[in-house]
Amino acid sequence: MISPPEYIRSIRPYVPGKPVEELERELGIKGAVKLASNENPLGPSPEARKAVSRVLSELNRYPDGGGFYLKRELSGRLGVPAESLILGNGSNELIDIAVRTFMVAGDEAVMATPSFVVYPISTRSVGGRAVEVPLRRWRHDLERMAEEIGQRTKIVFVANPNNPTGTINHDREFREFMKRVPEGVLVVIDEAYREYVQDERYPDSLEYLREGRDVLILRTFSKAYGLAGLRIGYGIAKEGIVAEMNKVREPFNTNTAAQVAAVASLRDVEHVRRSVALNEEGKNYLYGEFKRLGLQFIPTEANFIYIRLDRPMASELYDRMLRLGVIIRPMGDEALRITIGLPEENRVLVEALERVLPALR
């Protein structure tokens, strides 16, 4: 059999969860609650659903490869030219495009660990080296990350809020970090969960774009906007950076339904407001219940909560919860990531934890 290069063989692939329906069939359960993938439990905006239904008869046509209407909507809202915008099959694809555009074998990308698993996968897929810097107090150690930037560094990834911890880096420390990033290094600021942030110290990343810095700001419609199944995200950068990335981007990488749904979602401000309010309500409820159950957790600025376990039992806890119809995400041996769901889903989660935890302690 044909063999790939060593740097491909060494990649640990992302392992997705099984469809809920298949898990229910395998385990003989019904009504499973999925709290593993950080999705918006309210679903998409009603306006987005209407927009998608209106284009169903046009699905025999290729989508708008330039995303004209969505870029126009984003341009007006963000105050940036359309030429500074690039659309992606989720912001996830834009990470891969950035790496393929600006890195070659032997180059380095600096990132935190644990953080979004796609950063090291994309980096290694081009023969690059992922320089992983441990979190400090569960947040990006920006000081240490700046120190790790070397001659071969082409990209620095900063997830803000971070996945899986839900933590953010504040404006002041981020500005100090940016002062230390040399010219010619692209800082990818991944803001997939930005709509959920409540902390007033959250950085305005567009400031760095206005200053002419080499930044790529990533945002998505998969989280607060509830369009995860349509895969649509966008990047914001200097026109020259976007122009180079467009050379690598596939011609029709975002589909028609996704584009019209994204435009409608941007206009439905009330739906996003309700989604964020529901998340805050669920967050506060789960904080109280986790404390009552003796679970250690990291306060979050996203729509999920990172649970720290006192011993290696994440897999067993996940397994037992699964058999009770609650799907969560193990993060290594001693941590879990749990998505904040609807009120009833959160209550089902807590009831399942009440049944499972005593047997594991």
- Surface-to-core class of residue 312, CB atoms within 10 Å of its CB (0-12 exposed, 13-18 middle, 19+ buried): exposed
Question: What value does the mean pLDDT take over residues 339-353?
Answer: 98
Q: For residue 73, which phi and psi values (nearest 5 degrees)?
A: -65, -45
Residue predicted with more confidence, 360 or 165? 165
At residue 85, the pLDDT reads 98
pLDDT at 149 over 70: yes
Name the band, by pLDDT with cuts 50, 70 and 90, for residue 189.
very high
The region of weakest confidence among 15-24, 39-48, 186-195 is 15-24
Instruction: Order the strands of the 335-339 sheet from edge to edge.
Output: 296-298, 304-308, 335-339, 329-330
Instruction: Give me the architecture of the 46-267 domain, per CATH.
Output: 3-Layer(aba) Sandwich (3.40)
Q: Are 161 and 197 in contact (CB under 8 A)?
A: yes
CA distance 249 to 114: 28
How many Cα atoms are found within 13 Å in the side-chain-facing hemisphere of 290? Answer: 21
* Tens-digit pLDDT profile for residues 4-38: 989 888 888 877 776 788 777 887 888 889 999 99
pLDDT of residue 79: 97
Predicted confidence at residue 18, as pLDDT, reads: 67
Give the CA count within 13 Å in the CB-facing half-sphere of 8: 5
Note the pLDDT tens digit of each residue in 239-267. Answer: 999 999 999 999 999 999 999 999 999 99
Residues 212-244 have pLDDT tens digits of: 999 999 999 999 999 999 999 999 999 999 999
Check: CB of residue 90 under 8 Å from CB of residue 250: no
> At residue 346, does pLDDT exceed 80?
yes
Confidence band, pLDDT 50/70/90 cuts, at residue 175: very high
Cα separation, 96 vs 181, whole angstroms: 21
Residue 309 binned pLDDT confidence (cut-offs 50, 70, 90): very high
88: Cβ contacts below 8 Å, ≥ 6 apart: 94, 97, 232, 233, 234, 235, 249, 253, 254
- Is the distance from CB of 328 to CB of 338 less than 8 angstroms? yes
Pairing type for strands 186-190 and 153-159 reads: parallel
Residue 343 to residue 138: CA distance in whole angstroms: 27
140 pLDDT tier (thresholds 50, 70, 90): very high
Cite the residue boundaries of each domain of the chain with CATH code 3.40.640.10.
46-267
- 3-state SS, the chain, equals CCCCCHHHHCCCCCCCCCCHHHHHHHHCCCCCEECCCCCCCCCCCHHHHHHHHHCHHHCCCCCCCCCHHHHHHHHHHHCCCHHHEEEECCHHHHHHHHHHHHCCCCCEEEEEECCCCHHHHHHHHCCCEEEEEECECCECCHHHHHHCCCCCEEEEEEECCCCCCCCCCCHHHHHHHHHHCCCCCEEEEECCCHHHCCCCCCCCCHHHHHCCCCEEEEEECCCCCCCHHHCCEEEECCHHHHHHHHHHCCCCCCCHHHHHHHHHHHHCHHHHHHHHHHHHHHHHHHHHHHHHCCCEEECCCCCEEEEECCCCCHHHHHHHHHHCCEECEECCCCEEEEECCCHHHHHHHHHHHHHHHHHHC
Which of the listed CATH numbers 3.40.50.720, 3.40.630.30, 3.90.1150.10, 3.90.79.10 matches domain 16-43+270-360? Answer: 3.90.1150.10
Residue 229's nearest CA partner among 46, 39, 87, 13 is 39
What backbone phi and psi angles, to 5 degrees, belong to 129? Answer: -110, 125
User: What are residue 338's DSSP bridge partners?
Assistant: 305
Q: Which amino acid is at 279?
A: N
C-beta of residue 225 within 8 angstroms of C-beta of residue 263: no
* Mean pLDDT, the chain, whole residue set: 96
